[in-house]
Structure 1
Amino acid sequence: MKIALISFLLHTIFIMAEIEDYQKQLTEVLEARAAWFEKSELAKLKEEFRTFHTAFAGLYNLFLKKGLIIADVYKNEVKISELEVPETGPFEEGDWKDQYSLRLSNYDNQLDFLVNFYQFSVDFLSMEKIKTILGLVRFIDWTKLSSNSEAPNNKATMEVINQAKAGADPLSASIINEGLSKLSRTTGSILSYLKMLSDYNREAYKGTLRTKVLGSLNPGEASSIPLLKKKIAAEMPGQPFYPELLEEINKENSKAGKALRDKVLKQLVVPEDKSKMEAPQISFKGILIEGLNAIGSSNTSINEIAAKLDENAEFLEGRKNGFWDKLKRVIQQMLNKEPDPTIFDVEYIDPIKGVPIKEKVDFSNFRSEMDRKCRTLIALSSRTGAAFNKMQSMSESQLVVLLEKNIRDIQTMHKILGALDDFFKLEAGREDRDKVKGIKPELATMKNAIVKANQRRHEYSAQKEEEEQLKKLGITSGT
């Protein structure tokens, strides 16, 4: 009896020593895995999402252009603070196209937020956030599109694609085929990255549970679910309780758990770069083109503003209909003389010096410049076709110059448009102010485009600077 007890105690001590050693190894591989994600894999994941969003946007804009879906007039006014998976359930009775169009508009906004504003870091991408991102990726299953699909969004998407393909011109057919191919490929790649992150998070959670919670409990306490929940809330604030992960720990700590522990360590080991070749570079050109796409998107707002300004100018001109105004116009016509230019005296605050600036705006010339700029912006906003191919063929330095110039141009135009908005309202007076078309919503959308374009410009500069610093230290990518 004593020999059996001694044997049991020795075996227990041996197991405890193994578990303690395992926890040390687990901490080390988790730290190495996290560093690997931060150094290379998360940047690759973000780049895959950029490709995914660009491919989807190409299809989405084509569907809009062909009238297969309905434009969401409030799309640019949506403010997103956290990712949310759009509706995936059955369409309500009525016109499914309206509902499907709104879902796609929301989907495009969510992808834009994910790519341009979401934080890609190990600490931020928790299990719950990864679950939401997975839902977003699977909102439409681009790898299994079918008209017979039981998933409403898949079925609706396939129907719209078939309509788009019917009698499609070569360019449209190319956009569809290329877009579907990229969406299918990047879906597989993204899911692979997310699985690695999810696996890491599970083991990191279990590791924290071992060190902060289970280490201070005896076997009896460790089996009490209410006590464990209370302990987790105190030691791991903000973390949910996952009973299935606790069960995994119990199996790993059992007599037969060594194989399970070895499997975990093996799964978390950072893969070696056997080739020692340079890692693929993140496309700096892609970042700049994203910036040009962003500033180019302001063309819609500028077109809408132009129509309102024309109405406002016509309204003010209509008020100048006194005797001397009429006589002046008659004399100019008799002499075949061009009408006097319409000059508006506007005022705005210098954003750098903070002082008021007065400026005379030749309205006719300014409107012509708006129209010319819109044509340029439409080309910059394109994600396919000749304009897009031309941007891809340009060097990084050429793209930087083009991006900076257009940001400056739109910033200047935004400043003058704001001043004109104030001018028209002031000139109309209180009694007629409601007859003047306001442009504040469009100006806000323009501002958002400027902000996004500047974010891409700063991101490019930061990555180039980092690359130069590494070169100075004699370090190349992947070493």
Structure 2
Amino acid sequence: MAENESFNTKIIMAGADREQWYNTTQLPKIQDDYRLHLSCVRNIFDALVKRGLITPDPYKKDNKITAIVIPDTTPFNDNERSQVLGTRLSNYESVIDYVCNYMRFSCEMLTIDAIKKMIELNNAFSWNNLSLNSTRSNTRALATVLNELKNNADQLTVSLIKDNTIKTQNAISEINNVLKGLADFQRERYKLDIRKNILENSSFNKEKAYSSVQDMTNEIKRLFPSCMAKRPLSGELVGEVAAEETAPNKAELQAGLLAKLKVVEESGQTKTQKIDTHAILMESLRLVGTTYDAYKVIYDKISANHEILQNGKKSFKVKFTRLLRALFGLDEPPVDYEVVLTDKKTDVKRKETIHYNEFSSGLIKRVKIYSAFAMRDTPGYNKISQQKDEAILEYLNKQITENNHLFALIIALDDYFKNNVDMADRPKIKGCSMELTTIKNILVKANQQRSDYIAYAEEAEQMKKLGI
């Protein structure tokens, strides 16, 4: 009996280590993969729209995503391709954005059902098999328009599509591999709950249960309704626990289970390895960089809104003058917008003037800078990483401060466009709330990483002073 209790304790501890490994290593990794995938999908989508190969969903901004919804995969005719594929890709991109920014990536939240939904979502388009002969309508249609794009686009666009396709294929492969492993681990978590809630329960009749596999099964089922009331009974998994505890080959089953749950440290690292504060600092900065995609979308929307507002206010003569400027490549005259900023802490409002041309060029400049270090092991990332931590932290602090102010300006400008455009043009104004939410969530995580770096750095400095 003591031997059984010892194994039960050992397997529960191994399961806890495995869960922590998923929560701190594997799941943050695939969340980053999802963000990369989202960025690639948006780049591909924008390229297809600009070439007129697909038509984006006009009602996309009205769709509020609050759960994983699988895009339609039913067949459609070739003459419907532009409209149907555009709508389905729009829906897919919105759901992936929800996964990236609103879902919690933890073993507790990613249940078997959630994992099945995520894998089904990932397979809405067969990214690793974009074939013109695919039997799946969405995949075949996407492969067709991508092929048309490659045959008629410039070399830079072709290279962009190829690069983003390869990146998204790698990301989806990594995501699916981790999710499949997690699904297997969720089965073990269910069995661990049986061990913790039933086998260690004071009402559990050990003498009777350990008599045979069947007795163990019956005893677990007897206590299951009261000890695991919110969980459905799985006869298969209950049988596995019973076999691992009482079957003639239980020693073999137990050894296999321990090996399955064991966390293998990469590159010979141990759990007591020294914390890499430089890596934490760079991750905080890299997270800030990943906002570039949302800022690019905001830039496009603000530019479109600016055009709508200016065209609505101009006379025919002024509009003609603007057309001539565009034809001859002349700069637009300065445009100023007086917006109202609200301090969230004090609710005090103040006015600030946005010099539109300067604001617009600064926004697209930020997109270019951030995209250079948004991914690890790129030239831009490595160049910053080679600097001293003090310089990187100073730059990071500056970026976070600027982003917070820019965030407030975009909200105010967004409101300005909505409130000052002609009534007839109001439906044309594109809101930035979805992208702002994305940026806010990213900055929260970047701030957390920065706080962790500062805490670890201060602790290291104290230890150094103490001579440890």
Corresponding residue for 1:243? 235
Deviation at 1:99, TM superposition (A): 2.0
Corresponding residue for 1:157? 142
- 2:406 aligned with 1:409: yes
Deviation at 1:299, TM superposition (A): 1.6
**1:314-369 CA deviation, whole Å, 9 max, x = no partner?**
59xxxxxxxxxxxxxxxxxxxxxxxxx9999886755443345467x6xxx84545
Deviation at 1:172, TM superposition (A): 1.6
Residue 266 (structure 1) aligned to one of 235, 259, 278: 259
Contact kept in structure 1, 2:286 and 2:373, CA below 8 Å: no
2 CA distance for matches of 1:371 and 1:17?
A: 71
Contact kept in structure 2, 1:63 and 1:69, CA below 8 Å: yes
Q: Note closer, same or farther for the CA distance 1:156–1:36 as it changes in structure 2 (3 Å cut).
A: same
1 CA distance for matches of 2:19 and 2:112?
A: 14
Code of the aligned partner of 2:447: H
Please give the residue correspondences for 1:150-229 in structure 2 after superposition, counting only pairs within 5 Å.
150-213=135-198, 216=204, 228=221
Deviation at 1:242, TM superposition (A): 2.9
SS at 1:196 equivalent = helix
1 CA distance for matches of 2:339 and 2:174?
A: 53
More divergent stretch after superposition (188-197 vs 395-404): 395-404
Contact kept in structure 1, 2:337 and 2:356, CA below 8 Å: no
Corresponding residue for 1:256? 249
**1:78-130 CA deviation, whole Å, 9 max, x = no partner?**
32222233223333797133222222112112222222222122222222222
TM-score, length-scaled by structure 1:
0.72
Corresponding residue for 1:26? 11
1 CA distance for matches of 2:341 and 2:30?
A: 43
Unaligned stretches of 5+ in structure 2? 316-333, 385-391
More divergent stretch after superposition (27-36 vs 409-418): 409-418
Corresponding residue for 2:90? 105
Deviation at 1:189, TM superposition (A): 2.2
Deviation at 1:29, TM superposition (A): 0.8
Corresponding residue for 1:310? 310
- 2:57 aligned with 1:84: no
2 CA distance for matches of 1:272 and 1:358?
A: 55
Please give the residue correspondences for 1:294-309 in structure 2 after superposition, counting only pairs within 5 Å.
294-309=294-309
Deviation at 1:26, TM superposition (A): 1.5
2 CA distance for matches of 1:383 and 1:234?
A: 56
More divergent stretch after superposition (395-404 vs 50-59): 395-404
Deviation at 1:474, TM superposition (A): 7.2
Code of the aligned partner of 1:448: T
Unaligned stretches of 5+ in structure 1? 1-15, 316-340, 426-432
Code of the aligned partner of 2:91: N
Corresponding residue for 2:440? 451
SS at 1:297 equivalent = helix
Q: Aligned pair count?
A: 421
Deviation at 1:270, TM superposition (A): 1.3
Contact kept in structure 1, 2:293 and 2:367, CA below 8 Å: no
Q: Note closer, same or farther for the CA distance 1:377–1:257 as it changes in structure 2 (3 Å cut).
A: same
More relative contact order in 1 or in 2 (CA 8 Å, sep 6+)?
1
- 2:45 aligned with 1:63: no
Deviation at 1:18, TM superposition (A): 5.3
Bigger CA radius of gyration: 1
Code of the aligned partner of 2:444: Q
**1:174-227 CA deviation, whole Å, 9 max, x = no partner?**
2222222222222332223223322221111012224434773767787679x9
Residue 39 (structure 2) aligned to one of 51, 54, 59: 54
Code of the aligned partner of 2:15: L
Contact kept in structure 2, 1:407 and 1:453, CA below 8 Å: no
Please give the residue correspondences for 1:136-151 in structure 2 after superposition, counting only pairs within 5 Å.
136-151=121-136
Q: Note closer, same or farther for the CA distance 1:251–1:288 as it changes in structure 2 (3 Å cut).
A: same
More divergent stretch after superposition (244-253 vs 132-141): 244-253
Code of the aligned partner of 1:263: G
1 CA distance for matches of 2:21 and 2:117?
A: 23
SS at 2:127 equivalent = coil
TM-score, length-scaled by structure 2:
0.73
Contact kept in structure 1, 2:305 and 2:429, CA below 8 Å: no
Q: Note closer, same or farther for the CA distance 1:434–1:100 as it changes in structure 2 (3 Å cut).
A: closer
SS at 2:66 equivalent = coil
Q: Quote the RMSD (CA, aligned, Å).
A: 4.2
Contact kept in structure 1, 2:341 and 2:349, CA below 8 Å: yes
Deviation at 1:440, TM superposition (A): 8.0
Code of the aligned partner of 1:59: I
2 CA distance for matches of 1:292 and 1:182?
A: 17
Give me the identity figure in percent: 21
